[in-house]
Chains A and B, each alone.
Chain A
Amino acid sequence: MTTSSVIPTLPGRYYVDPEIFALEQKNIFESMWFCVVRSSDLGKPGAFKTVQVGTESILVTRARSGAVRAFYNVCRHRGATIRTEESGEVKRTFQCPYHAWTYDLDGKLIAAPNLTKMADLDRVEYGLVKVHVREWLGYVWVCLADDPPSFEDDVLAAVTERLGALDLIDNYDVPSLEVGRRIVYDVQANWKLIIENFMECYHCATIHPELTEVLPEFADGYAAQYFVGHGAEFGDEIQGFTIDGSAGVDRIPGVSEDQDRRYYAITIKPQVFVNLVPDHVILHRMFPMAVDRTVVECDWLYLPGVVAGGKDLDKSVELFHRVNEQDFEACERTQPRMSSRTYAKGGVLVPSEHHIGAFHEWVQDRIG
């Protein structure tokens, strides 16, 4: 028996077929924990964001008690969208602009025209429909499933699997970091192309010259995500994780000696990437909008003192911003050819990409 050095990718239709995307929306994005909002973006009660999760629009807000709440962005009366803006702030209520059904920040129906004449209408039963919420790493995660999967098994386990131990991420104290920069990328590519790209480094030496300068081992094509507990080491001449290798900003105090001068990357399926370096954390949230379009929100998180002190973050942000642009350009170059007759059976994964095969099996298993 001979073994091939390459294994197949998914067939091309997995990246262009709206029916497959619809299955992914239902069986993946609407079934799993999905990271939606930085908790600090909901600064006070009534602050809200609307996000797309699968096919649904979700309204995420903070109640009077300070607790985060998430609801389907759908009026219980005749189905109008409650809020159409991406973000905003209400004083006390969410009011449907159609017939003025009015809900408090806990979702309860508190007023509607002629409501007093409908005494049988239960105000909780006809309140906004709630979505399960968790907060972790300073982010709000929602789950649209009636019976959510274990957050520990699905989300936390991804960190354990990559870093070797869950508490190693605690050293970066991600919840207490602050957003120093946020860039939103509107990528014309299927979400899986973006995940696959993030998981491998076979492309690094070709399209990421600056990153490979900072992390020389990336030139051999083996990504940090190929190994367990391995962080890619900074080059000898490199002072910090910056566009030109110059010194970064204040190191996060909890980062251990083993973690210093290293870059760690974690994929939390289905839509989060976490990048850890000694002085900041970069967190990507992907929002798959269509089979060929994915919005990626990327946050650069630093110590509060670094952000408050107004330190120049340009060189720090520029390195991964450039990586993002290089990666997304590659994904956008790939997307249009996924429907080529020559790609009907897909392409191949080389040995340094073989771990992506497990991701493909996972996708196929989820969508049945």
Chain B
Amino acid sequence: MFLFAKLGCDSMIPACPLASLPRGEALRIEADPPIAVFHTEDGEIYAIDDTCTHQDASLADGWLEGCEIECPLHASRFDLRTGEVDAPPAKRPVRTHRVVVENDVVFVVPSDAPPNLPPGVTVKGQA
């Protein structure tokens, strides 16, 4: 509750009802830039930037194994907890976001760190 008070509820993005995101599944939120929310087989929920840092691909379309998501295009794997990447072609980590589950609804608290977007992908309103 202290966290909510500090951040303010306005900065939380409602993602989906918890029940609509089964374990092993992912959801893409059309934020700017898009965010991917994952429900792992172990029951944890994580949110990261949806776009691979190597090329414009949706990580929500990738392959979830444990706490790692494999990019569907070139198989770089990102750690959902830290955003770190295991092997090229991606070299930079993805941004991670805090997740809050309240009243069985999943919310994402977007990071205010700068995103690591691939070439050719920009945040709207920025060149």
Q: Which residues of A contact B (CB under 8 A)?
A: 92-93, 95, 100, 102, 110-117
Q: Indicate whether B73 reaches chain A with its CB closer than 8 angstroms.
A: yes
Q: Is the CB of A111 within 8 A of B61?
A: yes
Determine, out of B17-25, B51-59, B79-87, B103-111, the stretch whose residues face the partner at the interface: B51-59
Contact residues in B for A116 (Cβ distance below 8 Å): 28, 34, 50-51, 56-58
Contact residues in A for B55 (Cβ distance below 8 Å): 113
Q: Is the CB of A93 within 8 A of B56?
A: no
Contact residues in B for A114 (Cβ distance below 8 Å): 56
Q: Is the CB of A117 within 8 A of B73?
A: no
Q: 7 closest Cβ contacts across the A-B interface?
A: A111-B72, A114-B56, A111-B61, A100-B73, A116-B58, A113-B55, A102-B72
Chain B nearest CB, measured from A21 CB (Å) = 40
Q: Is the CB of A93 within 8 A of B72?
A: yes
Chain B nearest CB, measured from A123 CB (Å) = 9
Chain B residue with minimal CB distance to A99?
B73
Q: Indicate whether B98 reaches chain A with its CB closer than 8 angstroms.
A: no
Chain A residue with minimal CB distance to B63?
A92
Q: Indicate whether B91 reaches chain A with its CB closer than 8 angstroms.
A: no
Chain A nearest CB, measured from B113 CB (Å) = 22
Seed contacts A93-B72, A111-B61, A115-B58; 19 additional CB < 8 Å A-B pairs: A92-B63, A100-B74, A102-B72, A102-B73, A111-B57, A111-B62, A111-B72, A111-B73, A113-B55, A113-B56, A113-B57, A113-B73, A114-B56, A116-B28, A116-B50, A116-B51, A116-B56, A116-B57, A116-B58
Docked Cα-Cα span, A114 to B55, in Å, equals 8
Q: Offer 5 A-B interface pairs, CB within 8 angstroms, sorted by A.
A: A102-B72, A110-B72, A111-B61, A111-B73, A116-B58
Chain B nearest CB, measured from A94 CB (Å) = 12
**Residues of B contacting A: mostly:** loop
Chain A residue with minimal CB distance to B51?
A116
Docked Cα-Cα span, A110 to B56, in Å, equals 14
Contact residues in A for B57 (Cβ distance below 8 Å): 111-113, 115-116
Docked Cα-Cα span, A102 to B52, in Å, equals 15
Q: B34-82: which have CB < 8 Å to A?
A: 34, 50-51, 55-58, 61-63, 72-74
Docked Cα-Cα span, A115 to B72, in Å, equals 12
Docked Cα-Cα span, A254 to B28, in Å, equals 57
Chain A residue with minimal CB distance to B62?
A111
Contact residues in A for B72 (Cβ distance below 8 Å): 93, 102, 110-111
Docked Cα-Cα span, A327 to B51, in Å, equals 60
Contact residues in B for A92 (Cβ distance below 8 Å): 63
Chain A residue with minimal CB distance to B61?
A111
Contact residues in A for B61 (Cβ distance below 8 Å): 110-111, 115
Docked Cα-Cα span, A114 to B34, in Å, equals 13
Docked Cα-Cα span, A58 to B58, in Å, equals 29
Chain B nearest CB, measured from A91 CB (Å) = 9
Docked Cα-Cα span, A93 to B74, in Å, equals 11
Q: Is the CB of A117 within 8 A of B56?
A: yes
Chain A residue with minimal CB distance to B58?
A116
Chain A residue with minimal CB distance to B55?
A113
Docked Cα-Cα span, A100 to B52, in Å, equals 14
Chain B residue with minimal CB distance to A109?
B61
Contact residues in A for B63 (Cβ distance below 8 Å): 92
Q: Is the CB of B56 within 8 A of A111?
A: no
Contact residues in B for A112 (Cβ distance below 8 Å): 57, 73
Contact residues in A for B50 (Cβ distance below 8 Å): 116
Chain B nearest CB, measured from A147 CB (Å) = 34
Docked Cα-Cα span, A100 to B72, in Å, equals 9
Chain A residue with minimal CB distance to B34?
A116
Docked Cα-Cα span, A117 to B117, in Å, equals 14
Chain A residue with minimal CB distance to B50?
A116
Chain B residue with minimal CB distance to A116?
B58
Docked Cα-Cα span, A11 to B72, in Å, equals 55
Docked Cα-Cα span, A112 to B34, in Å, equals 16
Chain A nearest CB, measured from B88 CB (Å) = 15
Docked Cα-Cα span, A117 to B33, in Å, equals 12
Contact residues in B for A111 (Cβ distance below 8 Å): 57-58, 61-62, 72-73
Chain A nearest CB, measured from B80 CB (Å) = 18
Docked Cα-Cα span, A102 to B75, in Å, equals 12
Contact residues in B for A115 (Cβ distance below 8 Å): 57-58, 61
